[in-house]
Amino acid sequence: MIKKTLTLIAALAAALTATAQVKVSVHETAKDQPVIPAEIYGQFSEHLGKCIYEGIWVGKDSSIPNVNGYRTDVLEAFKALKVPVLRWPGGCFGDEYHWMDGIGPQENRKKLVNNNWGSTVEDNSFGTHEFLNLCEMLGIEPYISGNVGSGTVEELAKWVEYMTAKEGSMAELRAKNGRKEPWKVKYLGVGNESWGCGGDMTADYYSDVYKRYALYARNYSGNRLYKVACGASDYDYNWTKVMMQNARTKMDALSLHYYTCKGWTGSKGSATQFTTEEYYNVLAKTCEIEEVLKNHFAIMDAYDPDKKVALILDEWGTWFDVEPGTNPGWLFQQNTMRDAMVAALNLNIFQKHTDRLKMANIAQIVNVLQAMVLTDGEKMVLTPTYHVFRMFNVHQNATYVPADYTTGNIVSAEGRIMDDFSACVSRDAAGKLHVSLANPYLDKPVTVELAFDSLKPKTVTGEILKADKINAYNEFGKAPAVAPAAFTGAKATGKGVKLTLPAASVIVLEIQ
Ligand code: AHR
C-alpha cells in the first residue's frame, strides 16, 4: 500500500513538472571550451562468454568470413563506430590472465579455465598479438588491464617490455613470435576491481600494491604509459579518498565502475520484458551517475585542484538477467530501445564533465552486457546502443559548446529524480554544430527551440532513433526493429531551430 502511494506520488510529481516545451540557449560564441575526448566513446572487451571468441575472433579456418581470424562483419561495425580505445583482457578475467600463455604458436598455447565466467575452457588463441594487431588495424588505442590480483610485479613489468621495447630479450621473444617492431601502448590499468575479484584488498593496502606494480611498468623506446589505478565502485567514496591521499602523484588516472543494475543479489530484471515503472527505474538509476561522478570529483578536487589525475569510468552500462537458456556466466543480454536511451543520457552527461572525466568504456563491445554488437554463429545484429554510439560519434574530438536549458523532473518509483530532457552541443573541426537530444518520456513528445548567441542557421539535417515499442530489439535474421532514420522535422526559423522530439526518441542534428 505504501509502495503504491509512493508510486502515485511519483507519477503525480512527474506529471506536474513535465517538460512539454524546452528552450535551449546555445552559446556557440563561448571561448576556451574543452575538447570532448574521443575516449568518452571507449569500449571494453573481456574474455567472457562470446565477447572475444565468436564475437571478435573466429580464427583463420572458420567458415565465418574473417580477416586473419577477426570476423569481417564485426570489424566493419567497429570501423563505422570509430572505436577510440578498447580495454582488454578484463575485467575480473584480467586478474587471472597470464599473458605468456597467450603468445607463440597457437597450437602450443596453454588451455585456460575461465574461473570467473562460467568455467569455460579457452585455448588462449586470442592473446597479446591478436589484440594489439586488431587495435593497430583499426586505429584503436589499446588499454591493457594488467594482472595484479594473481600476477607478479615481474610478470606485469615483462608484459610492458614485451609489448613496447625495441631491444632486449622480451623484444627478441616478440620478434620470434612474428612481430619485430614494438606496438604503441598508451593505457595501462594496474589491476581491476582490486577491492573484489581483483584481489579483495582494502584501499590502503591496494594503494601500496599499486605503487609497487606501477613503478616497474617502465616506459620503453619512446612509449609513454598512461597509468590507471583501480578505483571505486559506485558509491565507495572512501576508496577514492584513500587512493588520492596515498598514490595520486604516481598515477595518471583513477578508475570508477558504475553499472545500471537493480542489485547484486536476486533478479536484475529482464532486458526485454519490463513495465513502465521498471523503464523509469532504470533510467533514473543510470542518470544518478552524474551525482556519483560529482561526488568522486569533489574528493579528487580536494587533493588535486589542478586536475592532474583524470577519472576514467572504465566500466559502465546496463546489467540485466541473461537471456533465458543462455549460460548464466556469459552475461549475454538483449538490447532494446531502453538501452539506447540509457546510452544517450549517459553520453550527454559524460560530455559535460570532461575537465576530469577523460575516458569511459561501456561494458562490453560484443555479446556481453550492454553490447554494441550481438552474434549468433555467423549471424550478427547491431544493437540500439550501437546506433546511439554511431550517431553521437560526431562529438568525438569536437569542441564542447555550452548550452542552457531548464528541465522538469521524472521521479522513479524507487524514488530517484532525473531530468526529463537531455541535450549536448559540440562544434567539429569543420565548424559544424552537432546537437544530441533525448526525450525519455514514453508518452510525451517535447518541442525544442534552439536559440543561438549569434548564429543564424541555414541548414539543419538530422538522424532519429526511435522504435514502435520501447522494448523493441534487433533479432537475428530479421529486419531491424530499431534503426536510425533521417530526421527532417527540424526547421531553421531564421532565429534558431525548432523541432519536436517524439516520445522515447534520440535525435542528433547537424546545424550550419
Ligand atoms: O563486465 C563484467 C564484470 O563486471 C567485469 O569483469 C568486472 O570488472 C565487473 O565486476
| DSSP sequence for 4-71 | HHHHHHHHHHHHHH--SEEEEEE-TT--SPPB--GGGGEEE--SSTTTTBTTTB--TT-SS-EETTEE
Question: 256 with 235: CB under 8 angstroms?
Answer: no
The band of 429, judged by pLDDT with boundaries at 50, 70 and 90, is very high
**Is residue 315 lining ligand 1, measured as CB closer than 6 Å?**
yes
DSSP characters over 343-405: HHHHHHHHTT-TTTEEEEEEE-SBSSSS-SEEEETTEEEE-HHHHHHHHHGGGTTPEEE-EE-
How distant is the alpha carbon of residue 347 from its chain centre? 9
- 452 bridge partner residues: 26
- Asked whether residue 371 carries a pLDDT value surpassing 50, the answer given is yes
Q: In the chain, what is the straight-line distance between the N-terminal and C-terminal CA atoms, in Å?
A: 54
Q: Ligand 1 centre and the CA of 216: distance in Å?
A: 26
For residue 473 the three cell numbers come to 530489439
Write out the residue limits of the CATH 2.60.40.1180 domain(s) in the chain.
2-32+401-511
The band of 495, judged by pLDDT with boundaries at 50, 70 and 90, is confident
The band of 153, judged by pLDDT with boundaries at 50, 70 and 90, is very high
Which residue has a Cα nearest atom 3 of ligand 1?
91
Q: Give residue-wise pLDDT tens across range 439-467.
A: 999 999 999 999 999 999 999 999 999 99
Which residue has a Cα nearest atom 4 of ligand 1?
91
Q: Give residue-wise pLDDT tens across range 288-304.
A: 999 999 999 999 999 99
Question: Which atom of ligand 1 sits closest to the CA of residue 90?
Answer: 6
* pLDDT in the model for residue 17: 56
Residue with cell 553499472: 259
Average pLDDT over residues 234-250: 98
The band of 494, judged by pLDDT with boundaries at 50, 70 and 90, is confident
Cis peptide bond N-terminal to 269, omega within 30: no
Question: Which atom of ligand 1 sits closest to the CA of residue 44?
Answer: 1
DSSP 106: G
Average pLDDT over residues 233-237: 98
**Is residue 414 lining ligand 1, measured as CB closer than 6 Å?**
no
How far, in Å, are 45, 139, 392 from residue 133 at the CA level? 15, 10, 26
Q: Pick from 159, 63, 81, 84: which is nearest to 378 by CA?
A: 63
**Is residue 90 lining ligand 1, measured as CB closer than 6 Å?**
yes
- Asked whether residue 1 carries a pLDDT value surpassing 60, the answer given is no
**Is residue 89 lining ligand 1, measured as CB closer than 6 Å?**
no
CATH class of 2-32+401-511: mainly beta
Kindly report the pTM of this predicted structure.
0.95
**Is residue 314 lining ligand 1, measured as CB closer than 6 Å?**
no
**Is residue 230 lining ligand 1, measured as CB closer than 6 Å?**
no
User: What distance in Å separates the CA atoms of residue 334 and residue 331, rounded to the nearest whole number?
Assistant: 10
Which residue has a Cα nearest atom 5 of ligand 1?
91
Q: Ligand 1 centre and the CA of 91: distance in Å?
A: 5
The share of the chain scoring above pLDDT 70, in percent, equals: 96
Q: Ligand 1 centre and the CA of 44: distance in Å?
A: 10
Say which residues have a Cβ less than 8 Å from residue 15's Cβ, sequence separation at least 6: none
* pLDDT in the model for residue 69: 98
Which residue has a Cα nearest atom 7 of ligand 1?
91
Sequence letter at residue 424? C
Write out the residue limits of the CATH 3.20.20.80 domain(s) in the chain.
38-400
Q: Ligand 1 centre and the CA of 92: distance in Å?
A: 6
Mean pLDDT score across all residues of the chain: 96
State the CB neighbour count (10 A cutoff) for residue 134.
23
- Which sequence positions are flagged as catalytic? 193, 315
Q: Out of 3.90.550.10, 3.20.20.80, 3.10.20.30, 3.40.190.10, which CATH number does the structure's domain 38-400 have?
A: 3.20.20.80
Residues, the chain: 512
Average pLDDT over residues 410-414: 97
